[in-house]
Chains A and B, each alone.
Chain A
Amino acid sequence: MITKEEVEHVGWLARIEIDAKESDAYAEKLNSVLGYFGQLDEVDTEGVEPTYHVADIVNVFRKDEVTGSMPQEEVLANTEHKQEGNFKSPKIM
């Protein structure tokens, strides 16, 4: 069971503000999702390798060749918070 406190903690980790009213609702929704996983857990998976990818492929590589980067203006185009070619964030510790 996911508690209200856990919802708030996860919210903090993702830097999302969740107020007390919302955290109840989220806890309920998350618990219902977990319920589905509970059903999946009932399947016997003894001796079955875990699947990380539905496509059974490995070793997709790229050659070590430069393909180029974006111009600085374009990189910063989506933000108003910039200074001397840098992104600018509020102060962080």
Chain B
Amino acid sequence: MVYENPDGVRIGLEVHVQLNKLNTKLFCGCSTNYHDSEPNTHTCPVCLGLPGSLPVINEKAVEFAIKIGLALNCSIVEQTQFHRKNYYYPDLPKGFQTTQYDYPIAGEGKVIIEGEDGEHEVGITRAHMEEDPGRLQHMGSIDRSKGTLINYNRSGMTLIEIVSEPDMRSPKEARRYLDKLRSILDYLDVFDGDLEGAMRVDANVSVHWGERVEVKNISSFKGAERALLYEIMRQKNHIRRGGEIVLETRHFDEARGVTISMRTKEEEHDYRYFPEPDLVPLRVADWVPKVRETLPELPDAKRERFMKEYGLGETHARALTTEIKLANFYEEVASKVDPKDAAVWVSDTLKGELNYRELTIDAFTVKDIVTVIELVTGNKITEQSAVEIIRTVLDDGGKPQEIVEKKGLLKVEDDIVAKAVEEAVAENPDAVADYLGGKEKSLNFLVGKVMQKTKGRADAREAREKVLAKLKE
């Protein structure tokens, strides 16, 4: 099946990734650990843009940038430098943003996503380094603002801007691309994606192969999908009514789920880039072999290996390798119990229960899930009981063994079940007669009686088989 892309949709994304796992900012020694701090407590003359201050590049930030570039299959440039992008806005204390321009540290690359019609390649145009601006907070609503509060704690944080080709053909593919990017960055251990503002997205979108519109202010992946769905619909409607799509920037209003045209002053993009005289050029291509050695096994490779090494199907392998933490958890479990059982219990049951509670894999231990899997595969408890144990650990705490004892979840012995079956059949001759007369439903009634008599500790499927066997006698 080939995806036809009936509306000629093309989406390109610019993703800003904040490298918040660095200890310090891009050009100064201010700590990056500002998220729960008072405003303007993580700043210094450099990130405040005070006269006479001199920026110096964080070596580790460059290493991380190269690492990201390599993971996205990008070429790494021979020599690069920083530029000043001049614009006057209070989130930049210097009046310019230090960024990269004509020689981004990472050039063309690609990412493979699960597209509308199978594997789909999204080209990476470039990835460059730049500093994060400060944070603005408008007092009151945006149109009736009484003023703006400025906090420069974020100012000077290292950003990597990853620019894609317009290769995505639907909001769903855009979402998949973002998920994939997040997954890769998690594997690289260069950022904590759960921190506020760790990944920010701008989108370029066009329909019918026409002019593109830029959508800004997207704050989440879900938001990206919604913004794109809305914007595609808006462009289609506009064209249907005889309108023409013009190159413009629109602002996504998350609360209302719409995009709004930003009143653009003429020549907003008059940035007057010029080389940053306070920073010397970087010649770091020779770092590549060393950085490449630090690259972990990435999601695609891990998925392939899980399928080969553990005999998993693609769905399980994919689900288990999206998050590095989950993948590591799974491998520990798989070293102790049958890998296929491990996949079912970790990927289907445990992950499901975690997602339902919006918890991560940190909320459960390898030891506990191994105990649960051993109990169920050793035929000591029913699958239902196993699920109940997992839920109880998550909701009330405790150890699986204790829960088994406290709740009396050990499966009853076969002879007790057999006795319950005999009783159930003997005590309900009408139901037996109904079943034998062709009323299938009566079987459920009898199985229910057996479960009642064993206080739910019999395996329902086994009980059913035993009742059936008894009825056939």
Assess A91 versus B148: contact at CB under 8 Å? Given A52-B275, A60-B280: yes
Q: Known: A58-B283, A64-B61. Is A75-B149 also a contact (CB below 8 A)?
A: no
Q: Is B309 close to A, CB under 8 A? A: no
If the complex has contacts A53-B281, A89-B148, are A64 and B24 also in contact, measured as CB distance less than 8 A?
yes
Judged by a CB distance under 8 angstroms, whether A61 is at the interface is: yes
Query: How far apart are the CA atoms of A83 and B56 in the complex, in Å?
Result: 31
Determine which of B22, B79, B146, B280 lies in contact with A57 in the assembled complex, contact meaning CB atoms within 8 Å: B280
Q: Is the CB of A64 within 8 A of B280?
A: no
Closest chain B CB from A65 CB (angstroms): 6
Instruction: Find the residue from A53, A63, A71, A86 having the highest chain B CB count within 10 A.
Output: A86
* Interface status of B415 (Cβ within 8 A of chain A): no
Contacts of A67 in B (CB 8 A): 24, 28-30
CA distance A7 to B215 in the complex (A): 31
Question: What residues of B have a CB within 8 angstroms of the CB of A84 in the complex?
Answer: 39, 149
Q: Any chain B CB within 8 A of the CB of A40?
A: no
The closest CB in chain A to the CB of B29 belongs to A67
A50 to B20, CA, bound (A): 35
Q: Give B50 Cβ to nearest chain A Cβ, in Å.
A: 9
A85 contacts B39, C-beta separation under 8 Å:
yes
Q: Determine if A59 and B282 form an interchain contact, defined as CB atoms under 8 angstroms apart.
A: yes
Query: Known interface pairs A13-B88, A89-B150. Does A66 touch B44 (Cβ–Cβ under 8 Å)?
Result: no
Contact of A58 among B38, B270, B281 (CB under 8 A): B281
A12-33 vs B: 1/0 string, CB under 8 Å?
A: 0111000000000000000000
Could you tell me the distance between the alpha carbons of A22 and B150 in the complex, rounded to whole angstroms? 33
Which residues of B have CB within 8 Å of A83? 147, 149
**Which single residue of chain B is at the shortest CB-CB distance from A75?**
B40
Could you count the A-B residue pairs with CB atoms below 8 Å apart for me: how many are there? 134
Collect the chain B residues with CB atoms within 8 Å of residue A86's CB: 39-40, 137, 149-151
- Contact call B280/A53, Cβ cutoff below 8 A: yes
0 or 1 for each of A55-93: is its CB under 8 Å from B? (1 = yes): 101111111111111111001100000011111111111
Shortest Cβ gap from A54 to chain B (Å): 10
User: Which chain A residue lies CB-closest to B140?
Assistant: A91
Q: Which chain B residues lie closer than 8 Å to A72 at the CB level?
A: 38-41
A58→B282 contact, CB < 8 A: yes
A62 and B90 form a contact (CB under 8 A)? no
Q: Are B59 and A61 in contact (CB under 8 A)?
A: yes
Bound CA–CA A10/B193 (angstroms): 39
What is the bound-complex CA distance between A80 and B235, given in angstroms? Answer: 47
Q: Say whether B90 contacts A92, CB under 8 Å.
A: yes
**B29 engages A89 (CB within 8 Å):** no
Q: Which residues of B contact A88 (CB under 8 A)?
A: 147-150
Q: Does B142 make an interface contact (CB < 8 A)?
A: yes
Residues 75-101 of B, flagged 1 when their CB comes within 8 A of A and 0 if not, give 000010100001111100001000000
Assess whether B38 is in contact with A85, with CB atoms less than 8 Å apart. yes
A88 to chain B, nearest CB (A): 5
Q: Residue B88 contacts which of A14, A65, A85 (CB distance < 8 angstroms)?
A: A14
CB of B43 within 8 Å of the partner chain: yes
Q: How far is the CB of B454 from chain A (nearest CB, A)?
A: 62
Report if A92-B280 is in contact (Cβ < 8 Å); known contacts: A52-B275, A61-B58, A69-B44.
no
| Bound: A42/B260 CA distance, A | 49
**CB pair B138 A91 closer than 8 Å:** yes
Chain B residues, Cβ within 8 Å of A68: 29-31, 44
Q: What separation, in Å, do the CA atoms of A90 and B87 have in the docked complex? A: 17
Residues of B near A64 (CB, < 8 A) are 22-24, 58-61
B235 to chain A: closest CB distance in Å?
24
Cα distance, A84 to B42, chains bound together (Å) = 15
Q: From residue 122 to 139 of chain B, which have CB atoms closer than 8 A to chain A?
A: 136-139
Assembly CA distance A52 to B145 (angstroms)? 43
Tell me, in angstroms, the Cα distance from A60 to B82 when the chains sit together. 13
Tell me whether B473 is interfacial, beta carbon within 8 Å: no
Minimum CB distance partner of B30 in chain A? A69
Residue of A13, A62, A63, A69 near B43 (CB, 8 A) is A69
Measured in the bound complex, the distance between the Cα atoms of B59 and A52 in whole Å is 21
Cα A65 to Cα B152 with chains together (Å): 20
Q: Are A62 and B149 in contact (CB under 8 A)?
A: no
> Looking at the complex, which one of B147, B149, B267, B280 makes contact with A55 (CB distance below 8 Å)?
B280
Cβ B56 vs Cβ A60 within 8 A: yes
For the complex with contacts A58-B79, A64-B23, A67-B29, 13 further pairs of A-B residues with Cβ separation under 8 Å are: A52-B275, A59-B280, A60-B56, A61-B59, A62-B56, A64-B24, A67-B30, A69-B30, A70-B43, A72-B38, A72-B39, A75-B43, A91-B138
Q: Provide a sorted-by-A list of 9 A–B residue pairs whose CB atoms are within 8 angstroms.
A: A14-B88, A52-B281, A53-B281, A62-B57, A62-B59, A63-B59, A76-B40, A83-B147, A87-B150
List residues of B whose CB falls within 8 A of some A CB.
Answer: 22-24, 28-31, 38-45, 48, 56-62, 79, 81, 86-90, 95, 136-139, 142, 145-152, 263, 267, 270, 272, 275, 277, 279-284
Q: Please list the 5 inter-chain residue pairs (A to B) with the smallest Cβ-Cβ separation, ordered nearest first.
A: A67-B29, A86-B149, A64-B60, A61-B59, A91-B145
